[in-house]
Structure 1
Amino acid sequence: MCEPGGGGVAAFLNRHPYEVNAERVLPLDGGPAHPVGADGSAVGDVPMGGAALSALNKSVRNKSSLNKNKNKNKNKNKNKNKNKMAGTGGGGGALSSLIPALELRRLHQLPEADPFTVARRFVWECLDICLPPGPDFTRLETAVLLAMQARDAERMRRLPDIEAQAAFSVEEFLRPLGISEVAGYEATEGLFLNILQATEYVGLLYKGRIDRDRPNVVEPRLRPLLAVPAHQSFPSNHAFQAHSIVFAFNAILPEHPATEELQRIAQNVAENREWAGLHYPSDTLAGKELARRFAPYLRDAFAAGFLAAQSEWH
């Protein structure tokens, strides 16, 4: 997704082919080590980030704080009988919707003595997801959304779920697992909450970089069922967040009989944003694809949380 031929990390990666897996980044050509500066950037390259990324991070923090307050007000009386876990790293801390700062820091950390630290550091910010379609296809998508809008009965049937899912909650994913309001699964719920916060942060970085207008900007006849968020449309963060939870639980307990139901819920959450008139279908597909591509980095950053959650099921 990074611009080919650009400066900084993109240029470094284009010059040196590499292979990415869940554990490490390896050069494909077996070439020599490349010097890395003290700040983690390749010598001669311009590090990514800077003022633009700093400003974007500020907007991410502001939005995360708003959602944190929404979830606190909605769930403040929830889980009163649960024993709160001590605040340990890796997503196994007290049940809250605070930003998982330690795990987000792990995403940005540089491993020591690795000549390909630049690639490892930034590859999750430049995952190769399909970019938004062009204007002609976008017009076709708005026509699809107008057709959905005309189906009043189906739209009204979905409205309660659309409104409930506006402030994302993990409760919908806990119920099919049989652990809603049940003590002993605090690490699993805490991991889900932290995944919501981390993927919101990552998704907003992609939204800001791609900068796709919302459907109602392109097609003024669309009447969204909810207030249109101020941030950009692509990819759908609801799709990204919901499918990230599904992929995470599949990694923890793939044999659980509710995994298919979790997938159905995630798809429903994502598609409801289309029925609400807030997202194009291609936004939804991109959110799911981003969740799939980001899953290994999520597992690495939240490794302790994954282990803590897994221990609750064995």
Structure 2
Amino acid sequence: MCEPGGGGVAAFLNRHPYEVNAERVLPLDGGPAHPVGADGSAVGDVPMGGAALSALNKSVRNKSSLNKNKNKNKNKNKNKMAGTGGGGAALSSLMPALELRRLHQLPEADPFTVARRFVWECLDICLPPGPDFTRLETAVLLAMQARDAERMRRLPDIEAQAAFSVEEFLRPLGISEVAGYEATEGLFLNILQATEYVGLLYKGRIDRDRPNVVEPRLRPLLAVPAHQSFPSNHAFQAHSIVFAFNAILPEHPATEELQRIAQNVAENREWAGLHYPSDTLAGKELARRFVPYLRDAFAAGFLAAQSEWH
């Protein structure tokens, strides 16, 4: 499944090597230095903003008095960016370049030598089923399509989730539009970007056709994305956020609600006629296997987010 390759992001990063330490990012080619903060972002970056308070978390309630109107404006601007398109393209200006570079560094020898293959590119997830099982899956999707009432009930969520936003995950935590949780929200946004990139790598290598290509009687509720079907990036991204927060604060009472939301986001892509059920399962499994590499690359972000909850 994983074929050697030296192009794309890895090739770009190799052409622009940086020396990375705890306080600064120094270009090895003599260019200007860029100070970075504890979370790995450039000093001077505008923090992303953190509505209703959760009665489950007293500290959230205490922080809510800190300039809610200012954070509302931040969220409006951020959501306007997130709503202009789907996935990584919508948030391209927020691409976590430093963390992506860490993903592309070797743990030994010269850290700026690009490997032909990285472990996180070759994670052991089940490949798509064969044609007979795929036909069974399309029959399931046709049966779901025939349930017009349920499909129309889900349609508002399906449309809202087309352009992935982290707001749905912030609300059950009680930190939507609340000051003091910028690192948590920023981490979620960066995870969204990184997993979009990684998921597209797997899609390109596996190259599974969308369900409507196999079964022309399917009528998707949204425009069918141009990229491949397996694994589901919505499932991968949503569950990656859940697994990340579980690593930060596993005892939080909203963790089960986050899991329910992630599953709903993933299953709505099936109800929309865009993904097979096996795409959804693969996306969740990829998130489970990728989270250790995510924690390594975003270590500073994880620590900064964790500090907001203690």
Same fold, judged at TM 0.5 (above): yes
Q: 1:239 to 1:161 in 2, by over 3 A?
A: same
Q: 1:293 to 1:5 in 2, by over 3 A?
A: same
Q: TM-score, normalised by structure 1?
A: 0.71
The answer to whether the Cα contact below 8 Å between 1:8 and 1:46 also exists between their aligned partners in 2 is: no
Distance in 2, matches of 1:90 and 1:281, equals 21
- 1:95 matched to 2:97? The reply is no
Distance in 2, matches of 1:304 and 1:275, equals 37
Greater CA deviation, 36-45 or 253-262? 36-45
Distance in 1, matches of 2:273 and 2:237, equals 19
Distance in 2, matches of 1:118 and 1:215, equals 36
Q: 1:4 to 1:110 in 2, by over 3 A?
A: closer
Name the count of aligned residue pairs.
310
The answer to whether the Cα contact below 8 Å between 1:191 and 1:306 also exists between their aligned partners in 2 is: yes
1:112 deviation in Å? Answer: 3.3
The answer to whether the Cα contact below 8 Å between 2:230 and 2:279 also exists between their aligned partners in 1 is: yes
Q: Deviations over 1:87-110 (max 9, x none)?
A: 999999999961101100100012
Q: 1:48 to 1:88 in 2, by over 3 A?
A: closer
Distance in 1, matches of 2:48 and 2:241, equals 28
- Structure 2 unaligned spans of 5+: none
1:28 deviation in Å? Answer: 36
Distance in 2, matches of 1:39 and 1:178, equals 22
Greater CA deviation, 147-156 or 5-14? 5-14
Q: 1:115 to 1:45 in 2, by over 3 A?
A: farther
The answer to whether the Cα contact below 8 Å between 1:64 and 1:99 also exists between their aligned partners in 2 is: no
Distance in 1, matches of 2:13 and 2:56, equals 23
Greater CA deviation, 121-130 or 177-186? 121-130
Distance in 1, matches of 2:34 and 2:180, equals 48
Q: Deviations over 1:174-204 (max 9, x none)?
A: 0000000000000000000000000000000
Distance in 1, matches of 2:136 and 2:46, equals 39
Helix, strand or coil at the partner of 2:35: coil
The answer to whether the Cα contact below 8 Å between 1:235 and 1:283 also exists between their aligned partners in 2 is: yes
1:78 deviation in Å? Answer: 3.8
Q: 1:253 to 1:57 in 2, by over 3 A?
A: closer
1:303 deviation in Å? Answer: 0.2
Q: 1:200 to 1:54 in 2, by over 3 A?
A: farther
Partner of 2:104: 108
Q: 1:253 to 1:182 in 2, by over 3 A?
A: same
Distance in 2, matches of 1:50 and 1:77, equals 10
Q: Deviations over 1:86-135 (max 9, x none)?
A: 99999999999611011001000122349999989611000010000000
Distance in 2, matches of 1:171 and 1:64, equals 16
Q: 1:97 to 1:259 in 2, by over 3 A?
A: farther
Distance in 1, matches of 2:160 and 2:47, equals 41
1:7 deviation in Å? Answer: 17
Distance in 1, matches of 2:57 and 2:206, equals 15
Q: Deviations over 1:21-54 (max 9, x none)?
A: 9999999999999999999999999999999999
Helix, strand or coil at the partner of 1:82: helix
Partner of 1:25: 25
The answer to whether the Cα contact below 8 Å between 1:199 and 1:240 also exists between their aligned partners in 2 is: yes
Helix, strand or coil at the partner of 2:162: coil
Helix, strand or coil at the partner of 1:53: coil
1:59 deviation in Å? Answer: 42
- Structure 1 unaligned spans of 5+: none
Helix, strand or coil at the partner of 1:109: coil
Q: Deviations over 1:49-94 (max 9, x none)?
A: 999999999999999999xxxx999999443799999999999999
Q: 1:267 to 1:149 in 2, by over 3 A?
A: same
Distance in 1, matches of 2:37 and 2:184, equals 39
The answer to whether the Cα contact below 8 Å between 1:187 and 1:305 also exists between their aligned partners in 2 is: yes
Helix, strand or coil at the partner of 2:92: coil
Q: TM-score, normalised by structure 2?
A: 0.72
Q: Deviations over 1:183-237 (max 9, x none)?
A: 0000000000000000000000000000000000000000000000000000000
Greater CA deviation, 47-56 or 75-84? 47-56
